[in-house]
Structure 1
Amino acid sequence: MARLFGTDGVRGLANAELTPELALRLASAAAVVFEESSRQDVRPRAVVGRDPRASGEMLEAAVCAGLAATGVDAIRVGVVPTPAVAFLTADYGADFGVMISASHNPMPDNGIKFFSGGGHKLDDAVEDRIEAAMGGDDPDSAEFARPIGAAVGRVLDATDAGDRYRTHLSAAIDNSLDGLTVVVDCAHGAASTLAPLAYQDAGAEVIAIHAEPDGLNINEDCGSTHMDKLQAAVLEHGADLGLAHDGDADRCLAVDADGEIVDGDAIMAILATGLSERNRLHDNVLVTTVMSNLGLHIAMREAGITLATTAVGDRYVLEELRRGGYSLGGEQSGHIVVPGVGTTGDGTLTGLLLMARMAETKRSLSELAGIMTVLPQELINVRVGDKHAVAQSESVRRSVSEAESELGADGRVLLRPSGTEHLVRVMVEAASADVARSVARRIADVVEAAGS
């Protein structure tokens, strides 16, 4: 069967593809895998959190049942951001964590992702072991321990989970945010209560919008994928900035006082230079993906900071951060990871660090973001019959080589096959939009011919 785990856990249409039966089996299989590394004299424990979408209640019950049925205590932390589950997994000393969320996806979808002890995302090998423990296409072949009596796991409600996470966030910055006014778009998601409180704790004046989740409105025309309402609110209130989170608050994008969007690349540039000035950027390296704008590469080179690039996906950024012991990494989409403070992307933490930099320098977000000039980018998705033919095509290689020579140091070309569709993504960045557009179109025509 096709691999169950995707790039960020298991996702699908709730109660159709991602059913409570599947969630129960998945949780039980995870319990089997994580029990192998847990202490034998202590009952294993797992932190379980969710975002506010309606199906999360159903899936949470199934996950907790699957854990308890295999002798694992479920520490239920309720509606919290994904990074809170990662933090609480470590803070409670749990063996693993489970987050029920489909992040920025529409409400009908949902997902289940796991964190190992310590709050780290799983690598492919562990996910494959969980999937194997589920029994594949024959669920009856799965072998789960079925304890009885006192050995059955318990479901425990952690009433202090939110306070623990807020205390953790408060310790992440050194200076007060007094005098800053921020509009925060909570996407009717998991951070609707916690993010505004965390910003208030730090001293900011907070105006929260889209912070009334009802289980059905998560991500609906709001949050980090729909920035227009936040831009309007920042201008309306004369705020210093706006911050946009997604449904599970593991990402953050910003809006400056003029209503201009400040994306993940610019946020990383601001944070990286701040860390570098304080000699807190390990080896003066910033980790990002190949999709980051060339403008970030240029800005970091001028600041004396080396850019380490990875494949697309925050898991690859996390792997590189851990491999090199680096201090900062992230994606253009707003997943920012600061390993010294958290083990995964944390949108609320990113917002705090960004505002702390503004307060420290007494400069506006627009001024700080001016360190980076975004180069025009053209992205064309080319539908092809054979992605492998494109990869092996001499005509495509020649076309890309010619374009790179033409663009020189002021541009770049990136070809990336889609992992799920019969598409090849052609991305070109150049000094002008016209050049980017014409070069991308020329390469796309060659790709289309090679893949037909």
Structure 2
Amino acid sequence: MGRLFGTDGVRGVANADLTAELALGLSVAAAHVLAEAGTFEGHRPTAVVGRDPRASGEFLEAAVVAGLASAGVDVLRVGVLPTPAVAYLTGALGADLGVMLSASHNAMPDNGVKFFARGGHKLADELEHRIEAVYEQHRTGEPWARPTGAGVGRVSDYDAGFDQYIAHLIGVLPNRLDGVKVVLDEAHGAASRVSPEAFARAGAEIITIGADPDGLNINDGCGSTHLEMLQAAVVEHGADLGIAHDGDADRCLAVDAEGREVDGDQILAVLALAMREAGQLRKDTVVGTVMSNLGFKLAMEREGIELVQTGVGDRYVLEAMKAEGYALGGEQSGHVIVLDHATTGDGTLTGLMLAARVAATGRTLADLAGVMSRLPQILINVPDVDKSRVTTSAELAAAVADAERELGATGRVLLRSSGTEPLVRVMVEAADIEQAKAVAGRLADVVKSALG
């Protein structure tokens, strides 16, 4: 059996790759691994289960709930809520584990199963390996202890989760949003009710788009992967800013009053300065990834803030934050983690904090985001090459060294192999976009010849 867990849970085409049988089996395995200190010592373990509005989430939720209850876990169904809400409620309710059914920004046919450990934390690789091992044992026929009678799990709906999560969001805001006009694009996803309610309770004037999920339209031409509708709506309504989420609302991208995109690096820059001003940016450090724009790094250096960079993926950002006690981190894609208030990226919280900064300073979002200048960044995917040799090819190393000398201090080269496909990603940044394109093109040609 190949590895089931990817960079963010188990994901695939619902009812093809991700079947009800797989979801049920994974849930039983997760119950044995994550609630093992409960079920087998007399304690009644509890799980929080939520989902995004995908049609397939309905049958997958039923499978997950059945698996957990059959393993002796009491289940609290919170319904359609964002991934960070499920993580928050897992911790707030003292649950042994949490389960979120979502494929995030992926198109509707996909779905996914994401597990959280006690406290609402993402799983370490070791726990994922253990869940896979237990799942494989059960799949191949090894018997497992099945509770009967009063030992089976009980299932109930936890409707209070909606208000509990919103109260948490409002409670951590540094100031209200009165006087700020915001357009919210909910991607027809999990935040379609939560985000508008939270912004309204915080005092913002809101216009909402992409907030009519029908189970089939999630991420369809809207949300953080398709900003065009939001950009047009912000300009049309004369809003101060726009906020876009993805399907499970763990991401946030923004649009300024002129309709220009404000990406995750810029959002991090704005929040880093705000948190330092408030004495909340521990060690004057923010965590990003190797894909963070060089303009972000230069801006943080200029402001006296250290940037720690990790591998690509919000889980690696989170690991670095927890290991060193940093308060803020995230990715260019809009995964922003404020560790004092969330255990994972939280798009609604990020949007609220960004709007709060606009309200508190009276400055435009464009002005605030102007603390950094995004350097042109060119990314070329080179397919059908031997990605395993990307770090050992002498020919490629020499080409990279030549490119770095040409770019100097105002440019950067990054080559990395894809984690899921047979390709190498070539990323080049430079002060001039034509230079970035030229250098990236030359390096892509070397990758083809050296690794093809």
Coarse TM-score class (shorter-chain normalised): over 0.9
State the 1:92 CA deviation.
Answer: 0.8
What secondary structure, in the 3-state scheme, does the structure 2 residue paired with 1:179 have?
Answer: coil
Residue pair 1:28, 1:66 contacting (<8 A) in 2 also: yes
Where does 1:352-431 land on structure 2 (aligned, <5 Å)?
352-431=352-431
Give the match for residue 46 of structure 2: 45
State the 1:156 CA deviation.
Answer: 1.0
Query: 1:69 & 1:333 partners in 2: Cα distance?
Result: 38
Counterpart amino acid of residue 413 in structure 2: V
Where does 1:235-274 land on structure 2 (aligned, <5 Å)?
235-274=235-274
State the 1:158 CA deviation.
Answer: 0.4
Residue pair 1:133, 1:143 contacting (<8 A) in 2 also: no
- CA separation of 1:142 and 1:74: change in aligned 2, threshold 3 A: farther
Give the match for residue 76 of structure 1: 77
Give the match for residue 172 of structure 2: 172
State the 1:142 CA deviation.
Answer: 4.0
Structure 2: stretches of 5+ with no match in the other structure: none
Residue pair 1:133, 1:142 contacting (<8 A) in 2 also: no
Give the match for residue 188 of structure 2: 188
Give the match for residue 334 of structure 1: 334
Residue pair 1:29, 1:144 contacting (<8 A) in 2 also: no
State the 1:447 CA deviation.
Answer: 1.1
Where does 1:279-294 land on structure 2 (aligned, <5 Å)?
279-294=279-294
State the 1:2 CA deviation.
Answer: 1.1
Give the match for residue 150 of structure 2: 150
What secondary structure, in the 3-state scheme, does the structure 1 residue paired with 2:136 have?
Answer: coil
Task: Between 387-396 and 227-236, report the one with greater CA deviation.
Answer: 387-396
Structure 1: stretches of 5+ with no match in the other structure: none
Report the TM-score, using the length of structure 2 for normalisation. 0.98
Query: 1:295 & 1:178 partners in 2: Cα distance?
Result: 32
In the TM superposition, what whole-angstrom CA distance separates every residue of 1:230-263 from its partner, at most 9, and x where no partner exists? 0000011000000000000000000000000000
- CA separation of 1:390 and 1:135: change in aligned 2, threshold 3 A: closer
Counterpart amino acid of residue 416 in structure 2: R
State the 1:288 CA deviation.
Answer: 0.6
Residue pair 1:28, 1:144 contacting (<8 A) in 2 also: no
Between the two proteins, the alignment pairs up a number of residues equal to 451
Where does structure 1 differ by over 6 angstroms across 4 or more consecutive aligned residues? none
Give the match for residue 441 of structure 1: 441
Counterpart amino acid of residue 125 in structure 1: E
Query: 1:144 & 1:203 partners in 2: Cα distance?
Result: 53
Query: 1:395 & 1:421 partners in 2: Cα distance?
Result: 22
Query: 2:187 & 2:117 partners in 1: Cα distance?
Result: 27
Query: 2:419 & 2:143 partners in 1: Cα distance?
Result: 32
Counterpart amino acid of residue 228 in structure 1: E
In the TM superposition, what whole-angstrom CA distance separates every residue of 1:106-154 from its partner, at most 9, and x where no partner exists? 1111000000000000011000000000126x71434432111111101
Give the match for residue 18 of structure 2: 18
State the 1:391 CA deviation.
Answer: 2.4
Given the alignment of the two structures, is residue 91 of structure 1 paired with residue 92 of structure 2, yes or no?
A: yes
Residue pair 2:34, 2:96 contacting (<8 A) in 1 also: yes
State the 1:36 CA deviation.
Answer: 2.2
Residue pair 1:291, 1:312 contacting (<8 A) in 2 also: yes
What secondary structure, in the 3-state scheme, does the structure 2 residue paired with 1:114 have?
Answer: strand
Counterpart amino acid of residue 220 in structure 2: E
Residue pair 1:134, 1:142 contacting (<8 A) in 2 also: no
State the 1:3 CA deviation.
Answer: 0.3
State the 1:405 CA deviation.
Answer: 1.4
Where does 1:92-241 land on structure 2 (aligned, <5 Å)?
92-135=93-136, 139-241=139-241
What secondary structure, in the 3-state scheme, does the structure 2 residue paired with 1:406 have?
Answer: helix
- CA separation of 1:14 and 1:142: change in aligned 2, threshold 3 A: farther
Residue pair 1:417, 1:423 contacting (<8 A) in 2 also: yes
Residue pair 1:32, 1:144 contacting (<8 A) in 2 also: no
What secondary structure, in the 3-state scheme, does the structure 2 residue paired with 1:371 have?
Answer: coil
Query: 2:107 & 2:264 partners in 1: Cα distance?
Result: 22
State the 1:280 CA deviation.
Answer: 1.3
In the TM superposition, what whole-angstrom CA distance separates every residue of 1:299-319 from its partner, at most 9, and x where no partner exists? 000000000000000100010
In the TM superposition, what whole-angstrom CA distance separates every residue of 1:248-287 from its partner, at most 9, and x where no partner exists? 0000000000000000000000000111122211101100
Counterpart amino acid of residue 60 in structure 1: E
In the TM superposition, what whole-angstrom CA distance separates every residue of 1:58-104 from its partner, at most 9, and x where no partner exists? 00000000001010001100000000000000111100100000001
Query: Percentage identity across aligned positions?
Result: 62
Residue pair 2:390, 2:415 contacting (<8 A) in 1 also: no
